[in-house]
Amino acid sequence: MKFLKGKKIADEILRNIKLKIEKEKLGIGLAVILVGEDEASRIYTRLKNKAAEKAGINFFEYEFDDRGDRNDLENRVIKKIKELNVDEKVSGMIVQLPLPEGLDTRKIINSIDPRKDADGFHSENVKLFFKNKEKVWPVFPRAIIKMIESAGVKLSGKKAVIIANSEKFGEIMAKALRRKNMKSRYFLADTFIRSSSALFADRQASFQREKGVIGEIKKADIIISACGIPSLIKGGIIKKGAIIIDGGVTKRGKKVLGDVNAGSVKNIAGYISPVPGGVGPVTVACLLENVYILANRERI
């Protein structure tokens, strides 16, 4: 089994962005809106700041505490987004997710000008992506594709399965894989967990599930998991030589865990992205790549 190391991929992306910015003498800025006191969100924001510095992109952070009236907080966040929509120093922006409970995530994201949507998850940009007319790819799926491509194997015609918490992400990821000529389908984490439980409950259930979720995973050349459920994917349900992209992150004390039980797959999988050090750095690099693209709107 070989590890697909995200840092190497990310460093190359950031290096290329910096060279282009210097050559074209561009002034580019990323704005990040951080709401609340979530420690993981603060860590991710700091990582984006460091990566932006490496790429030669200016970084602007706007913090909002989540105390007080939710309607007032939401209005203040949207007001700031509208100000940034017309700020020439800002080429792209994101709202760091997840947002505190009680805020309308979709409404807030959709208040971003689609031309400055660095994450690529504004409703208008998602529609364009499904029509193959996007200005930028959604960041997380883009990073996963880059991780898969880094394995250096022929991907056209390969069968891919996605396990996800979000139906929307599952749809977008499946589309991204099909854009690369792979066969793809997704399953929600709850469906997968129920199937796994049934699989080991009795032989009849096992026979039935072989035709369903577990059976599909066992036939997959590529498995993508983004659920935040440690040890969700184990060696007993994967195909020999499969490429596994672990997009799940869970913190337990000082440990950062992925969705894949690495010990149980190490003698079966062909390639795996580690956690940490896998998809995360590439996702940040792809975000900054989108900022560069958005700064060159006249080309797109």
User: For residue 245, with 0-12 CB atoms within 10 Å meaning exposed, 13-18 middle and 19 or more buried, which class applies?
Assistant: buried
- Tallying the residues shown for the chain, one arrives at 300
Average pLDDT of the residues in 35-59: 94
Question: What pLDDT is attached to residue 194?
Answer: 76
Domain assignment of residue 42, yes or no: yes
Query: Is residue 200 over pLDDT 70?
Result: no
Domain assignment of residue 274, yes or no: yes
Q: Which domain holds residue 276?
A: 139-280
Of the pLDDT bands very low, low, confident and very high (cuts 50, 70, 90), residue 60 is: very high
Residue 261 identity: N
- Give the span between the Cα atoms of 113 and 285, in whole angstroms: 21
Domain assignment of residue 120, yes or no: no
Query: Is residue 192 over pLDDT 80?
Result: yes
Domain assignment of residue 17, yes or no: no
Of the pLDDT bands very low, low, confident and very high (cuts 50, 70, 90), residue 112 is: very high
Q: Among 99-103, 159-163, 247-251, name the one with the lowest average pLDDT.
A: 247-251
Question: What pLDDT is attached to residue 294?
Answer: 96
- Give the span between the Cα atoms of 137 and 145, in whole angstroms: 11
Question: What pLDDT is attached to residue 254?
Answer: 83
Pairing between strand 92-95 and 29-35?
parallel
Tokens found for residue 128: 């364009």
Verify that 94 and 171 share a domain, yes or no. no
Q: Where are the beta strands (DSSP E) in 69-227?
A: 92-95, 159-164, 183-188, 222-226
Percent of the chain, pLDDT > 90? 83
Percent of the chain, pLDDT > 70? 94
Verify that 169 and 238 share a domain, yes or no. yes
Domain assignment of residue 118, yes or no: no
Verify that 74 and 170 share a domain, yes or no. no
- Give the span between the Cα atoms of 209 and 19, in whole angstroms: 51
| pLDDT mean across residues, the chain | 92
Verify that 74 and 194 share a domain, yes or no. no
Verify that 196 and 259 share a domain, yes or no. yes
- Give the span between the Cα atoms of 27 and 91, in whole angstroms: 9
Burial call 29-44: b when 16+ CB within 10 Å, e when fewer: bbbbbbbbebeebeeb
Residues 33, 77 contacting (CB under 8 angstroms):
yes
Helix (H) or strand (E) holding 130: helix 123-130
Question: What pLDDT is attached to residue 196?
Answer: 67
Domain assignment of residue 4, yes or no: no
79 phi and psi, to 5 degrees?
Answer: -60, -45
Query: Is residue 253 over pLDDT 90?
Result: no
Query: Is residue 204 over pLDDT 70?
Result: no
Residues 79, 282 contacting (CB under 8 angstroms):
no
User: For residue 5, with 0-12 CB atoms within 10 Å meaning exposed, 13-18 middle and 19 or more buried, which class applies?
Assistant: middle
Verify that 208 and 172 share a domain, yes or no. yes
Residues 136, 294 contacting (CB under 8 angstroms):
yes
Question: What pLDDT is attached to residue 85?
Answer: 98
Verify that 267 and 146 share a domain, yes or no. yes
- Read off the CATH number of the domain in which 227 is found: 3.40.50.720
- From first CA to last CA, the distance across the chain in angstroms is 40
Question: What pLDDT is attached to residue 202?
Answer: 53
Of the pLDDT bands very low, low, confident and very high (cuts 50, 70, 90), residue 292 is: very high
Domain count, the chain: 2
Verify that 106 and 168 share a domain, yes or no. no
Q: How many CB atoms lie within 10 A of CB 96?
A: 20
- Give the span between the Cα atoms of 223 and 243, in whole angstroms: 6
Verify that 156 and 272 share a domain, yes or no. yes
Verify that 55 and 166 share a domain, yes or no. no
Q: Among 60-64, 98-102, 286-290, name the one with the lowest average pLDDT.
A: 98-102
- Global pTM reads 0.92
- Read off the CATH number of the domain in which 96 is found: 3.40.50.10860
Average pLDDT of the residues in 184-192: 90
